[in-house]
Amino acid sequence: MKKFLVGICALFVLFISCRKSDDTPQPNPAPSSEITILAYLVANNSLDDDLLTNIGAMYDGLAEMDQQATLLVYWDGKTKIGSNKAQHLILRYATDGKGNINGLPALDMNATLNDVLDEAEIVKEYDTQVSVDKTVMSKVLKDMVSLAPSSKLGLVFGSHGSSWLNSILTRAFGQDGKNYDTILIPDMVEAISSTNKKYEFILFDACYMGTAEVAYAFRHVCDYQISSVMEVPAYGFPYEDFMKYLYKGNVENYKLVCKSFVDFHQGAWGTVALIDSKEVGSLVSEIKKEIVEHKDDLADYDVSDLQEYGRTSGPYIAYDLGQMISDLNDGNVPSTFSSQMDKTILYKGCIEKAMSNYAVDAANYCGLGIYIPVEKRPKWNEYFKTLDWYTASGWSEVTFSWNF
């Protein structure tokens, strides 16, 4: 559990103001940092406790800020929050950079999670809704943008995830409720695009989002992407350690965010990468060149020697992109591909000495995974062919020796 959760309760509990669900959100008039962070947390699933803990960790990170900053959190979880016990709502935390959050001294490390939640300003409540519905996500994100006190925005998405996939159990992003509602990546991109904003970064606190397919899909809606190609520990990202870096922005600070993830999860498991979205298009051109050139080899390709990142819940989701290209070229990676990878993947980190079977060979970890069509996944393959990625990456030119 998060560091602040251990200890005694605070001496008092704040009464928090609530707005009716049909009220129009009002922007925060207080000055803020250059970037406002929006966190979209879909926790009506097994991650309810963990994502609640993430809110507390974000609060801890804000408490250490030396500049004004605003955090807006959309919550959809099993846990109901506030005096009205809302299950779908937007919380706001704003720090003055002098140790105060929402106009009061920040809680210390002995505070409980309930104390932190009681400190939130509830600025919007919603009736029961499916948060992974494209229309709902679009509306909520627009509401959050309208509340942001700065024009530069960063996005955090927290929930279950499984890259570009479309089946119920693999859920591309999110799992909302007993019906396993989820959102497909193209719909998610449309919802983000509907806000008419290009985001400074998107941080995916969800499993398997560090793939070439996902990077390609999100390349136009954000400048940078922070993601993992394998399963993310339930604890997620250690927000208490790096919120100050997220708010400051720029590549060097985003690298520190990634480093914080690796340092925090030593002894557990994990991978993380920082992706430059503007370079993804050029990387995909290099990928297509390689796939088309080696289409005969790929027609009946043996993936058994490649590093695979679906450890428990997602076999075949992603193999290492760089290792695949190396293998296709007998160990000699083309200089143009290597150069473009260096421009696209600005940071990559992994935990080699990991628990269970989650160890990663750093020598064969490039920062991005890629799906290689396999005969064992006919339903995946059927959907795979509907993606823009299928043509853009050159897979459409491969004639497989099996029924694809």
Q: Which CATH number is 203's domain given?
A: 3.40.50.11970
Residue 177 and residue 132 share a domain: yes
Q: What is the mean pLDDT of residues 305-333?
A: 92
Residue 368's domain comprises 281-337+357-397
pLDDT tens track for 305-316: 999 998 776 789
Cβ atoms within 10 Å of 15's Cβ, excluding its own: 8
The number of residues making up the chain comes to 404
* Integer Cα distance of 63 and 125 in angstroms: 25
Element (H or E) spanning 212, and its range? Answer: helix 212-217
Residue 259 resides in a domain: yes
Q: What is the pTM of this model?
A: 0.90
* Integer Cα distance of 194 and 192 in angstroms: 5
Residue 182 and residue 273 share a domain: yes
The pLDDT assigned to 354 comes to 84
Both tokens of residue 275? 């992706």
Both tokens of residue 45? 């699933």
Residue 133 and residue 79 share a domain: yes
SS3 114: helix
The pLDDT assigned to 168 comes to 58
Residue-wise burial string across 218-237, b where 16 or more C-beta atoms lie within 10 A, e elsewhere = bbebbbbbbbbbbbbbebbb
Residue 286 and residue 248 share a domain: no
- Which of residues 231, 260, 278 is at a domain's end? 278
Q: What is the mean pLDDT of residues 149-178?
A: 87
* Integer Cα distance of 14 and 122 in angstroms: 12
Higher pLDDT residue, 99 or 167? 99
Residue 158 and residue 192 share a domain: yes
Cβ atoms within 10 Å of 401's Cβ, excluding its own: 11
Q: What is the mean pLDDT of residues 37-54?
A: 95
Element (H or E) spanning 122, and its range? Answer: strand 121-125
- 16 pLDDT higher than 50: no
- 334 pLDDT higher than 60: yes
Nearest Cα to Cα of residue 224 among 263, 191, 193, 258: 258
Lowest mean pLDDT among 1-15, 56-70, 342-356: 1-15
DSSP assignment of 68-112, as one string?
Answer: -EEEEEEEEEEEEETTTTEEEEEEEEEE-SSSEETTEEPP-TT--
**Contacts of residue 143, Cβ cutoff 8 Å, sequence gap at least 6:** 25, 90, 124
DSSP code, position 8: P
The pLDDT assigned to 82 comes to 85
Residue 159 and residue 286 share a domain: no
Q: What is the mean pLDDT of residues 335-345?
A: 98
Residue with tokens 């609060």: 59
In contact, 72 and 36? CB cutoff 8 Å:
yes
